[in-house]
Amino acid sequence: MIKKEKGYDEFLAEQIRLGEEDIKAGRYCTLDEAMQSWQQTIEKKALEMALLDEELEDELLYA
């Protein structure tokens, strides 16, 4: 049997309630919108990492 932390059920119920409020208020996005957002974030972070790699290589070459 899985042992839950005390208060977990209440925490989960509150998170569900807040999520339902968000949906009713129109604060949500579609799966496609979420996937596009994550793809943009991944591409941005990949570019940032590539630039950092270049900077580190330059520092090592000219140190």
pLDDT, greater one: 60 or 38: 38
pTM: 0.58
pLDDT, greater one: 55 or 46: 46
pLDDT above 90 (res 63): no
Query: What confidence score (pLDDT) does residue 60 get?
Result: 82
pLDDT above 80 (res 13): yes
Quick one: three-class SS letters along the chain?
CCCCCCCHHHHHHHHHHHHHHHHHCCCCCCHHHHHHHHHHHHHHHHHHHHHHHHHHHHHHHCC
Question: pLDDT per residue over 17-40, tens digit each?
Answer: 999 999 999 999 999 999 999 999
